[in-house]
Amino acid sequence: MAERTVPILPCPTLQPVLDFYEALGFETTFRQKSPTPYAVVVRGGIELQFFGVKGYDPAASLSTCYVVTDDVDALHAAFRAGLKAAYGRVPVRGLPRLGALRDTSYGVRQFLVTDPGGNCVRVGQPVRDEHHHTPAPAETFARALHHAALLADSKEDPAGAARIIDRALGLPDERPAPAQLLRLLVLRADVAGRLGDEEAARTALAGAAAVPLTAADREAVRDELGRLAELRD
């Protein structure tokens, strides 16, 4: 027996969704207009199917699926390059958007990509056998980052993530190490953009760009520096 699972995802109209996935390197292998607008896109071993729904609101979508890969870094880089070529920049807020590449607390290195129909495709590579969440760190700023990242991505609650980061950075008697500060500010800029708070995004981006980093720090925050470049583009 050789079963496989194919997600079927909604959208208001097909063309913007198909254009988006073609920018990511997918090929449209099937399309029909009636009785229901329907299309299939394929990239390597990834197949996604879509159906059109009149009046569907992408901003209110809860549709999602998970793609498991053995090279998440390469796939993120390919998606990033394709989007930049198609859109002139990497879209990081609104719809569509490409999320940050990061290591999660549940043993997966992943990123999220959200299409014009509001569908969130989570793309990840397991980096350990156990996939339960690790306990939140005890250290103040590592703990704040842990919870803020979960709210931003897993729970799609950027406002909650922003509150956690602002509270941590506002502590009167504690300051994060440079690498921690860079991580917190990049995530703060990211969620501010998703919330439409341009002033907060600019402030966080300027603060992140000004953080002094050693060579070791820069290696430790390589993912965040890549996201910083995307957010400043």
Summarised one tens digit per residue, pLDDT across range 66-121 is: 999 999 999 999 999 999 999 999 999 999 999 999 999 899 999 999 999 999 99
Helix (H) or strand (E) holding 7: none
pLDDT of 222 > 90? The answer is: yes
**How far is Cα 68 from Cα 124, in angstroms, rounded to an integer?**
5
pTM of the entire predicted model: 0.90
pLDDT of 126 > 90? The answer is: yes
pLDDT of 62 > 90? The answer is: yes
Summarised one tens digit per residue, pLDDT across range 13-53 is: 999 999 999 999 999 999 999 999 999 999 999 999 999 99
pLDDT at 38: 98
Specify whether the CB–CB gap between 77 and 24 falls below 8 A: no
Structure-derived torsion over alpha carbons of residues 135, 137, 138, 141, reported in degrees to the nearest 10? -150
Question: What percentage of the chain exceeds 90 in pLDDT?
Answer: 92
**How far is Cα 27 from Cα 41, in angstroms, rounded to an integer?**
5
